[in-house]
Amino acid sequence: MNKLTLIIITLLLYIFVAILSAVLLPERIVYTFLAIVSFTGIFLFVYYATKHISDKIDKKTEFLNTEIFAQYSQIESLFAIYNLLKIDGILPPFRGWAISPDFASIILKKIRNNKAEQILECGSGVSTIIIGYLLKQRGSGHLYTLEHDAEYAKKTQTQLEKNNLSEYVTILQSELISHSIHNNTWQWYDYSGIGNGQLFDMLIIDGPPFQLQPKSRYPALPLLDKNLNNKAIILIDDCKREEDSEVVKQWLNEYSHYTEEWIDTEKGAYLLTKIKT
């Protein structure tokens, strides 16, 4: 029942009570009775209106506090990235379609902690640039990035060259082609450019776009498991989106040699670790 309907019903009820009292009650107390009823009605209206407004303010305040904390967390992560990488230029925009600063910070942390040398990334962007900076700073390692959008690949390549990172990053402009997985056909990157025998310490999944097909990121593990070293790690972004969370659950059901860890970032992420020996 909406508020307008409730007000109309209350008004009609008041009119009904007023008419009924005028008919049934002695004339000398009708006005007194109606005054009491009116006062009570006004009191209850003011009380519940005030309570409703107060609840609205509390909910809005809670939302704003949560949002302010979330924004602070992203700014904190962004400062940490610039401080770690000693970047003197301006990085491409974070968030939106791009990764958020908190996920970017986790990527860098995992590369450092796991001493990942050979890294494969699905989808290029700001992550490509910051990983390139980290590898350059360290003086070793290489990132291979699968990117199906030729224009976007070109823009990222330009950024790499501008920041002298090409030695540490290779953009593999990879069309989306058909792959057969478990008797189903999927559209995913043509990853033939990385070579069948090439092994990676880390896989970062932030593509292809989810609009491509249901569970668009599912093919990554079935196709690339053989290219991941023992103890390799996988980071997948956007897992607060139910579809990507379901992809991770399906992987874990099909590949028992991985453990999972939920990471509570802005968009939600999973860390999978290969335990097969």
Q: Which residue has the higher pLDDT, 259 or 38?
A: 259
- Residue 137, number of CB atoms within 10 A of its CB: 12
Confidence of residue 272 (pLDDT cuts 50, 70, 90): very high
- Residue 188, number of CB atoms within 10 A of its CB: 26
pLDDT at 145: 96
In the CATH scheme, what is the code of domain 90-274? Answer: 3.40.50.150
**Tokens 């910051």, residue located:** 130
DSSP 174: -
142-193: pLDDT as tens digits:
999 999 999 989 989 998 998 889 999 999 999 999 999 999 999 999 998 8
Would you say 193 and 172 are in contact if contact means Cβ atoms under 8 Å apart? yes
**Tokens 């209106």, residue located:** 49
Q: List the domain boundaries for the chain.
A: 3-63, 90-274
pLDDT at 273: 97
- Of 133, 125, 67, 63, nearest to 96 by C-alpha is 125
Examine the pLDDT at 104 and tell me if it is beyond 80. yes
44-75: pLDDT as tens digits:
666 666 766 666 776 766 655 555 555 667 77
**What is the rounded average pLDDT of the residues 39-46?**
67
76-101: pLDDT as tens digits:
777 778 787 877 666 766 655 568 88
Quote the tokens at residue 119.
Answer: 């890294």
Q: Which residue has the higher pLDDT, 177 or 26?
A: 177
Alpha-carbon torsion 120, 122, 124, 129, what sign? Answer: negative
Q: Which residues, in sequence order, are bridge partners of residue 202?
A: 119, 233
